[in-house]
Structure 1
Amino acid sequence: MEKEVRIFIRIQKYRKEKWKKLCLTKKISLTTLIIDSVESRILDDERKTILQFIEKQDNIFRKIENNINQVAKIANGQNFISEKELSYFSIQLNEIANLKVQQNEIFYKIYSLIADDH
């Protein structure tokens, strides 16, 4: 492990206080704020927010997929589904598939950012 060194910088007192307040709200150290900002990294609090978003999205899609399965089970139990209901159901399935593709592209970009970060 490489030896750490100190860097001294001069800033106005009000700026330092502003940075410290920002760190307090983000629950990170001033050192982390400065290093991550200079090195264009995603801050730890932003990373947590992103991961929470991903988890929430995944839960939403699970609920939707569960509803689709319930509709399919009902249709199979009745051995009948009207043309209108089938058409609507197909449109919804296509929309969900498109949204899932878009979501996966966003997730890929997010994961790439996070991976490049460390």
Structure 2
Amino acid sequence: MTMTAYLQTMERGDLDSWGTPEDIGSETVEGAPECAGSFDLGSPDDPVFGGLYSVTKGKYRVTYGFHEHATLLDGEVALTNEATGETVVYGPGDSWIIAKGTPVLWDIRSDVARKSYLAVTTDIPA
């Protein structure tokens, strides 16, 4: 059993390069964002997985293939639910929950944004 802390005061080490948004099933809309991350619990092949994710400035579009709870650790992002048009701007310490199947436009407004996340790939009744 492990316990992983993601504290505002902790050093931000290097994450594994995940490439461009296209490499993780997304579509770049503006700029040239680069993604990186770690799996600290499970992997995307498991029903539950989580870890850290970072992305550099730009915009990309993704339809979520999992349910996600995330907390922004660094930076500023605006997330737009493209199904409803609702946009929320997040800063360090802010959290969100996004349901599987939701189309989201990510607008990374800082040089880099980092989040911790927990994802669930199984379907959950509405």
- Greater helix fraction, Structure 1 or Structure 2: 1
User: Shorter-chain-normalised TM-score: which range?
Assistant: under 0.3
- Greater strand fraction, Structure 1 or Structure 2: 2
Q: Which has the larger radius of gyration?
A: 1
